[in-house]
Every structure is written in C-alpha cells, then in structure tokens.
Amino acid sequence: MSSRRNFLQKSALGLAGSTVMPFLGRSASSQPDSLHGATDASPLAVGVAGYTFAKFDLDHSITMMKKIGVSNLSLKEIHLSLNSSDEKIKIAMDKFKEAGINVYTVGVIYMRTKDAVDQAFQYAKKVGVNMIVGVPTYDLIDHAEEMVKQYDIKLAIHNHGPEDALYPAPQDVYNRIKNRDPRVGMCIDIGHAIRAGSAPEKAVRDFKDRLFDLHIKDVNIAAKEGKAIEIGRGVIDFPALVTSLRKIKYQGVCSIEFEKDMTDPMVGIAESIGYFKGVVAAAK
C-alpha cells in the first residue's frame, strides 16, 4: 500500500470519528452532505443507496440516516413497495420530509416485463423523483426509453458485475444507450465495475455524458470473487476517482452502498463516509 494511501486512511479515520459523533450525542444536522474540501466548482454530494438498510424497516432506516448525518437517499422498494397506495406513499414521503431526508431517486428497480417498466415510472412519478435507477432487459430498453420521454424522468441503468448477464460493466451499459435519448444514462456501481475489470476512475471519465448516479463501495480484490469491505480498506483508488469526478464536474450524488455486516452496519458506514470525505479533503 502506498504512503499516499496510508496518509489518506489516517486522515479519513479522523473524519470517520467525527461522523460517528452522532452516536455520542452530537446533532446529525451538523454533518453536511457536501464533502468538506470540495471546491465550489466541483461539489460532491453524499447519499446512501437504500439497499444499505435492507435488513431494516423504513423507520429504522430514517433513524440511521439521521445518526450518520446523510440526507440524500436512493429509495429502495424494500422500504416502500412498488405497488404502494397513494396514501402509503404520502405517509412515507412525509416521514422523509420531516426527517430532512431528500429522496433523490428510486431503485435499483428490475424491469423484466413491459408492465414492470410502466409500474416503475408510475411509482417514480408518485414518489416525486426525476430519476430511476433501473435494470431493464435488452428487449425492454426501447419501451423504457418511450417512458423516459413520456414522463420526463431519467433512467440510470445500473451495472452489476461479472455475474450479471445483462450489464456486467459500465461499458456494457453504455453500448446499449449511447445513441438514445440523453435522459437515458447510467448509475455506475464502482464496486461491481472493478470486479468486472473496469477501473472506476476511467469509467466516470469515459462515460461522463451519460453518468447520472454513482453507487460508492469498496471490495477486497478486483475480481469476480471480490467481497464488500469498508471504503478505503479495499482495492479501489479513491483519490483517482475523486480527481476524475472533479475533472468531469460531476453534479450527481455519490451514494454509499454498504454491503458488509448488513445486520449491524453503522460503524462500517461511518468509517466509509469518513474515508470518502478524507479523500476529498486531501485530494488536490
């Protein structure tokens, strides 16, 4: 491990400590989502991908988000089902609003039938977001593009690593959408990307015009067998990623998706956010 990475990890652990402070009674409202050290010209907003809280209900998920001081959420249907009534959606969205949580997108939503595509866009409209992170099968991309135009809601297609027969790497998404409506783009999952042989820092530059969203995680090895680990302890070059994001003037959200210790994730999430903030603060 390079001395630079050692330095960044030490810096990040310090910031991770401040992120954990809500557990000690500090107000979560003192932890802004925009990362300290980012320039005004290239802000990097932090969020959480809802799958992080897959083992918890909506109310517990909100509580955890308040403790870690992050307010941007990619809402997963685990916490608000796709077939929810208008009343149930209103109740849930009122809870998010009261907690100061900005639901900026929904997903990942899998789209294996035409009805599933339609349901996803109807759901997004009711929730009140302008983007869906989704995975349409190849034969449904045309219909999904039609719905993008009809609803004026963006579709960010998510890559899922070597096991995924549809979109293993960001390039596989791009090849399917590069000539489509500009509102059809990508959510690059950097952990799955590196497992599929795609360097995240290069992918965000190569596909910047179609990059709508990011799922931020780390893995222990850059191979199919790679497992989720706290951000900064794995193989992803986060300084290079942040440099690329600033270079392309990325305006989306960097949503942490923590998939280790999912029944007890809080310390790992805090460390991961702290490391990511540390990298941004140290990067020039």
Q: Which two tokens stand for residue 112?
A: 């294996």
Q: What mean pLDDT value characterizes the chain?
A: 89
Q: Is the pLDDT of residue 79 over 50?
A: yes
* Per-residue pLDDT at 246 exceeds 50: yes
Report CA dihedral (17, 21, 24, 30) to the nearest 10 degrees. Answer: 170
- pLDDT the model gives residue 3: 46
pLDDT over 60 (residue 32)? no
Instruction: Write out the H or E segment, with its range, that includes residue 72.
Output: strand 72-75
DSSP E strands in 137-224: the ranges are 154-158, 184-189, 211-216, 218-219
Band of pLDDT at residue 282, cut at 50, 70 and 90: confident
pLDDT at res. 121? 98
Range with the poorest average pLDDT among 66-70, 162-166, 207-211, 278-282:
278-282
Residue pair 167/155 in contact (Cβ under 8 Å)? The answer is: no
Q: What is the pLDDT of residue 278?
A: 86
pLDDT tens figures, 217-233: 999 999 999 999 999 99
Rg (CA), the chain: 18
Confidence tier at 48 by pLDDT (50, 70, 90) = very high
Token readout for 40 is 């005004």
Q: What is the pLDDT of residue 199?
A: 98
Does pLDDT of 126 surpass 90? yes
Query: Is the pLDDT reported for residue 36 higher than 60?
Result: no
Residue 1, CB half-sphere, CA atoms under 13 Å: how many? 12
Name all domains of the chain by residue range, CATH numbers in brackets: 3-282 (3.20.20.150)
DSSP summary character for residue 111: E
* CA distance linking residue 172 with residue 186, whole number of Å: 10
Nearest to 56 by CA among 231, 254, 265: 265
- Residue 214 — very low, low, confident or very high, per pLDDT cuts 50/70/90? very high
**Chain segment 134-174, per-residue pLDDT in tens:** 999 999 999 999 999 999 999 999 999 999 999 999 999 99
Is 48 exposed, middle or buried (CB count within 10 Å of its CB: 0-12, 13-18, 19+)?
buried
Do 256 and 231 contact (CB within 8 A), yes or no? Answer: yes
pLDDT of residue 40: 41
C-alpha torsion sign, points 209, 210, 215, 221: negative
CA distance 108 to 227: 20
Average pLDDT on 87-100 reads 98
With cut-offs at 50, 70 and 90, classify the pLDDT of residue 188.
very high
Sequence letter at residue 2:
S
Query: What does pTM read for this prediction?
Result: 0.88
- Report pLDDT for 281: 81
- Percentage of the chain modeled with pLDDT above 70: 85
For residue 9, what pLDDT band results from cuts at 50, 70 and 90? Answer: low
